Amino acid sequence: MMQERLLELQEEALQKVAAASELKELNEVRVSYLGKKGPITEVLRGMGKLSAEERPKIGALANDVREAIASKIEEKQKALETAAVNAKLATETIDVTLPGRPVNKGNLHPLTRVVEEIEDLFIGMGYTVAEGPEVESDYYNFEALNLPKSHPARDMQDSFYITDEILMRTHTSPVQARTMEKHKGQGPVKIICPGKVYRRDNDDATHSHQFQQIEGLVIDENISMSDLKGTLDVFAKKVFGQDREIRLRPSFFPFTEPSVEVDISCKICGGKGCSVCKQTGWIEVLGGGIVHPNVLEMAGFDSKKYSGFAFGIGVERIAMLKYGVDDIRHFYTNDVRFLKQFHHHEA
Amino acid sequence: MFVSYKWLQDYVDLSGINATELADKITKSGIEVEGVEKKSEGLKGVVIGHVLEREQHPNADKLNKCLVDIGAENPVQIICGAPNVDKGQKVAVATVGAVLPGNFKIKKAKLRGEESHGMICSLQELGFESKLVSKDYATGIFVFPNDTEVGKDALEELGLSDEVLELGLTPNRSDALSMLGVAYEVGAILGREVKWPVIENEEAAEKASDYISVKVEAKADNPLYIAKIIKDVKVGPSPLWMQTRLMSAGIRPHNNVVDITNYILLEYGQPLHAFDYDRFGSKEIVIRRAKDAEKIVTLDEAERTLTPEHLVITNGNEPVAIAGVMGGANSEVKNDTTNIIIESAYFAGTVVRKASKDHGLRSEASARFEKGVDPARVREAGERAAQLIAQYAGGTILQGTAEVDELTMEPAVISITLEKINTLLGTGMTVSEVESIFKRLQFGVELDNETFTITVPTRRGDITIEADLVEEAARLYGYDNIPATLPIGSATPGQLTDYQIKRRKARRTLEGAGLYQAVTYSLTSQEKAAQFALETRESIRLAMPMSEERSQLRLSIVPQLLEVVKYNNARQLDSLALYEIGSVFFKQDGQELPEEKEHIAGAITGLWESHLWQGEKKPVDFYVAKGVIEALFDTLGLADQISYRQAEINDMHPGRTAEVLLNSEVIGFIGQVHPTVQKDLDIKETYIFELSLKALAEAEVAPIAYETIPRYPSTTRDIALVVDKATKAGDIQSIIIEAGGKLLKEVGIFDLYEGERMEQGKKSIAYSLKYFDPERTLTDEDITKAHDNVLAAVKEKAGAELRG
């Protein structure tokens, strides 16, 4: 009789738990069935009438019933709580496709970007970065580089003179001359020299009275033209891509002998010939050569013991080729629509 | 240098190699061929015609009606507008169906009622540049020599079917400024012989030295001067083949005598000059430096004032030529000239360069003297000229020369080992490979074991040292054959200097803060050079600026950045944040070179933050700009050493500008551009800063030392202080920090109120003060003691009252 009553209560309570749709309702079920005034407690009060054998059985059953109800209530409570949270979160849904709050960020000028990339490449190969004044003496800009005052090659670079003896440097080579002098005839010297240079040119799509160069210089025992070729090959592949090739052509610079012009294979046509490379498959990118013995000697190096190579790169030219910029003036106009294009890292 | 492919074959065998292939080989061996041009490309149908009849066009004053034999069955009628067309002439006729430059097609036409079956052509119409056309035919048709065969291809006769290689010569390769020089180069590349012109002159019994004497007073400038005399010449046009060769090389034909001197210039690289003997004014040639203010009227009819820096040829009395540059009008060879002096001389490059530069006369002749002519060819060039004049202008060559010859010609002799060549190039050439290269160059070669002793011909004045020989070996061996290696040697640490690292950190910080890097010009106008300059010092001006706008070296970067703002603002780009790092230049007393300092400058304008759909818009103000440079100082570890001082700076907003001090030294400024300046520039409200990067990068920075993370809680007390409006928040903060003692670790401002509820002339600033002691938990008493100190100090020193 009591046993049936308990099972009946369990059945009844579980049905109510299942039916409860709110936490409040569920709590009412808990109080009414498991509370001190609840029906199970009431049933247990009548246990005194039972035999000694039956008493523990009913007691155990009553506990099982209580636990069963309590466990279901707990289960249900969790479910209701989760549902309540979910319902609340559902009202908080946002449009994730709306744009985020912009974080201010700027970027390097494309020329600096190229310079830093090249600096880092050469630093990795054991070079240091040497710098020098943009206003130079005629001596360092020309004479120390095997360009005496009467030298016809001075015509090649018409210059902005300030007085007869000082001028806006026409290349970063004077930094090489100054660095060599500081080494007092002791090798090795391994430097690259980035910087602004100036020439008397009218500004147009391909000329700028101010531009940037990076020159490199290595002086040590047994430095050869093949070392220059290998070094520039590393440079070309790093800056323009692993599939680029280089080609050396004989040329003339007063401070190097032999001198070379260096071409890279055209990226656009892959060497077949197109309008960018003027149908040659090659694009001229820089000049260099073996340091002229006069330049070594003037800077205090024994040209019998030491040899060296030097090269010079036009930064604008590299940037124009690398990024496809068609007018050198863009670099100095600083239209922000131009500047903002050079922000991400390229693979 | 323009090189005719056909003409070159006079000196070197080119069989089996066409002009394009030749160009490619020349380029690869060191002289860049910039182009190969065939003028007749795309042209056709132009033949030699014979004008049989010419009469006035019945209906047009300026037109001629001509009957022309063009080698066809019947002569054709052609209407011609040229003033010089006449009966009996041999002319170039573009026949019906011909194509002329610019894809101009010739059709049968009717001109004022008369049929015209073609066109009689001027040289310009056939593609010659006007400056190359002889003055005789400048405004009309070209007339061919009488013996020209009718019906032949006129383009061929004019040398237009020839191919012309344009050599881009570097200054060292002046040896290739002549056909013979190019022949040596090509001979070396192809391994072929060079054929010289054969000169066999028949000379009269009369001696040149009886007609003229030569005296050189400036022997350093002119160690060799040779004069030849040719009598009884007949001045007239030179042969057509010579004219076309001159034109292909870019020289305008004049008359046979002048053309021959120019022809020799191109053939030998030796400039010559012809004087009219009868107009020379004396029987002596005296070469000397000009007297001060001496005058000469040159061939171009210009009167030129000379100085002792110029070398002149005189008749003992007055100048008759500026040596190596231009002859005088007084002794010019004219149509009636019969007796001539041919000058062939060696003039020093420097003195010719000076004169050509001073008088603005750059000519084919001066260019060659400036770069140095081959002394070995001077004599022969004179003889060759005499030969051609006798041949093409008639006349008698007088015996011998009148001359001064004190030129010592020592060919350079250089020894070099095979090892040296291979070491410098990184190659593995053999003795015989190298020997073959020098022999192909026609250098004298002596070989002892593996040492070469090379005798360099005088035509290659550019080769003086071992390295020059290495280059010759390299270029003919082929640069493609040189391997690619990397230097092996002692390892060197590759790294940036401390300064360079800081500069990069500055860049990263400013980019991180939202600024784009700009690069502007260092040269600016006088007006802008010193505007916004951090230091009032003298600027530097170029000796010869190209324009006023780029005449002065900048003392500050800001004006350039404001130009950038102006440019962008004018294109509706209103929100800008830019910086630049670059040098500024100050004149230094007693020093040749200016002081160069690297500055860092910025310009910020428009909206700083905007997220419009969320309704956020924050315009740039002073504190935005200040935050940017504060971040910079923080990165550089200088935050503690920087302070700001309200300042008045020209062209800056008087109330919104501060000087930036590093310790006690002013190293920059920050603030708003003066509204008047903004208006003048037509830019929006713009905040700028300019700092000495040099000062920032060179300042001493404390090393990073770890500080214990506090284990005990801190206590924060907030105070709102009422002060006079003019009182600076920074000053109060300093007072607080000083009075707070070592327990006060942080002071921050969290509110500023200047509104209506304040008493007139007052403002309220709220500070948050954080106290803690790393060693223990602070008691209320500890804090109260410190805090009371703070309150007393701000009251006493800044008159600050706690806000009620």
pLDDT beyond 80 at A286? yes
Contact yes or no for A319/A114 (Cβ under 8 A):
yes
pLDDT at residue A149 in the model: 80
Task: Give B306-338 pLDDT, tens digit per residue.
Answer: 999 999 999 999 999 999 999 999 999 999 999
B336 close to A (CB below 8 A): no
Please tell me which of the candidates A161, A198, A221 has its beta carbon nearest to residue B544. Answer: A161
CB contact under 8 A, A198 and B489: no
pLDDT at residue B775 in the model: 85
Confidence of residue B509 (pLDDT cuts 50, 70, 90): very high
Chain A residue with minimum CA distance to B580: A109
pLDDT beyond 80 at A166? yes
B297 close to A (CB below 8 A): no
Least confident of A26-40, A211-225, B724-738: A26-40
Confidence of residue B682 (pLDDT cuts 50, 70, 90): very high
pLDDT beyond 60 at B548? yes
The correct CATH number of B203-405 out of 3.90.1150.10, 3.50.40.10, 3.40.50.720, 3.90.440.10 is 3.50.40.10
pLDDT beyond 80 at A157? no
Kindly state the average pLDDT of the residues B534-559. Answer: 91
pLDDT at residue A153 in the model: 61
The mean of the pLDDT values for chain A is 90
Tell me whether strands B114-116 and B224-231 are parallel, antiparallel or unpaired: unpaired
Please tell me which of the candidates B474, B545, B582 has its beta carbon nearest to residue A258. Answer: B474
Contact yes or no for A199/A155 (Cβ under 8 A):
no
Mutate to test the interface with A, among B416, B424, B509 (most CBs of A within 10 A): B424
Chain B residue with minimum CA distance to A188: B490
pLDDT at residue A1 in the model: 72
Contact yes or no for A130/A343 (Cβ under 8 A):
no
Kindly state the average pLDDT of the residues B289-311. Answer: 94
- The answer to whether the B2-39+163-190 and B412-480 domains have the same CATH topology is yes
CA distance B267 to B184: 12
Kindly state the average pLDDT of the residues A107-131. Answer: 96
pLDDT beyond 90 at A315? yes
Q: Which residue has the tokens 């690289």?
A: B269
A124 close to B (CB below 8 A): yes
CB contact under 8 A, A332 and B579: no
Question: Strands of B326-327's sheet, edge to edge?
Answer: B213-216, B284-289, B311-314, B319-322, B326-327
- Report A:11-70 residues touching B (Cβ under 8 A): none
pLDDT beyond 80 at B239? yes
CB contact under 8 A, A339 and B484: no
Chain B residue with minimum CA distance to A129: B496
Cβ pairs A/B, distance under 8 A: 258
Chain B residues in contact with A163 (beta carbon < 8 A): 543, 592
pLDDT at residue B739 in the model: 92
SS3 content of chain A, % helix, strand, coil (to 5): 45, 20, 35
Kindly state the average pLDDT of the residues A259-269. Answer: 87
pLDDT beyond 70 at A347? no
CB contact under 8 A, A101 and B616: yes
pLDDT at residue B40 in the model: 87
pLDDT beyond 80 at A156? no
The CATH number of the domain covering residues in B2-39+163-190: 3.30.56.10
A302 close to B (CB below 8 A): no
Contact yes or no for A72/A80 (Cβ under 8 A):
no
pLDDT at residue A50 in the model: 80
Q: Is the peptide bond before B83 cis (omega within 30 degrees of 0)?
A: no
Chain B residues in contact with A218 (beta carbon < 8 A): 487
- List b or e across A157-170, with b for residues whose CB sees 16 or more CB atoms inside 10 angstroms: bebbebeeebbbbb
DSSP structure string for B453-465 = EEEEPTT-TT--S
Q: Select the more confidently predicted residue: A43 or B297.
A: B297
B490 close to A (CB below 8 A): yes
CA distance B417 to A207: 43
Please tell me which of the candidates A226, A332, A335 has its beta carbon nearest to residue B425. Answer: A226
pLDDT beyond 60 at B688? yes
CA distance B751 to B152: 100
Query: What are the backbone dihedrals phi and psi of residue B756, each rounded to the nearest 5 degrees, phi first?
Result: -65, -30
In chain B, domain spans: 2-39+163-190, 44-157, 203-405, 412-480, 498-698, 715-802
CA distance B227 to B209: 9
pLDDT at residue A155 in the model: 58
Contact yes or no for B575/B607 (Cβ under 8 A):
yes
How far CA B58 is from CA of B54, B78, B108, B112, in Å, comes to: 12, 13, 19, 9
Q: What is chain A's length? A: 347
Chain A residues in contact with B515 (beta carbon < 8 A): 106
CA distance B259 to B252: 8
Confidence of residue B415 (pLDDT cuts 50, 70, 90): very high
CB contact under 8 A, A220 and B541: no
ipTM of the complex: 0.87
Least confident of A260-274, B116-130, B532-546, B598-612: A260-274
Helix (H, G, I), strand (E, B) or coil at A186: coil
pLDDT beyond 90 at B61? no
For B77, residues 6+ apart whose C-beta sits below 8 A from its C-beta are: B65, B66, B67, B68, B114, B115, B116, B117
pLDDT at residue A152 in the model: 61
Task: Give A134-155 pLDDT, tens digit per residue.
Answer: 999 999 999 988 888 877 666 5
Kindly state the average pLDDT of the residues B644-668. Answer: 95
CA distance B277 to A223: 60
How far CA A339 is from CA of B503, B510, B698, in Å, comes to: 20, 14, 30
In chain B, pLDDT over 70 holds for what percent of residues? 100
Confidence of residue B534 (pLDDT cuts 50, 70, 90): confident
CATH architecture observed for domain B412-480: 2-Layer Sandwich (3.30)
CATH architecture observed for domain B498-698: 2-Layer Sandwich (3.30)
| Superfamily per CATH, domain B44-157 | Nucleic acid-binding proteins (2.40.50.140)
For B712, residues 6+ apart whose C-beta sits below 8 A from its C-beta are: B772, B773, B774, B775, B776, B777, B778
- Report B:581-610 residues touching A (Cβ under 8 A): 582-583, 585, 592-594, 596, 608-610
CA distance B67 to B64: 10
Please tell me which of the candidates B479, B521, B616 has its beta carbon nearest to residue A248. Answer: B479
pLDDT at residue B426 in the model: 95
B513 close to A (CB below 8 A): yes
A338 close to B (CB below 8 A): no
Residue range B715-802 in CATH 3.20.20.70:
no
pLDDT at residue B556 in the model: 95
pLDDT at residue B621 in the model: 96
pLDDT at residue A51 in the model: 82
pLDDT at residue A22 in the model: 87
- Report A:245-284 residues touching B (Cβ under 8 A): 247-252, 257-260
Confidence of residue B752 (pLDDT cuts 50, 70, 90): very high
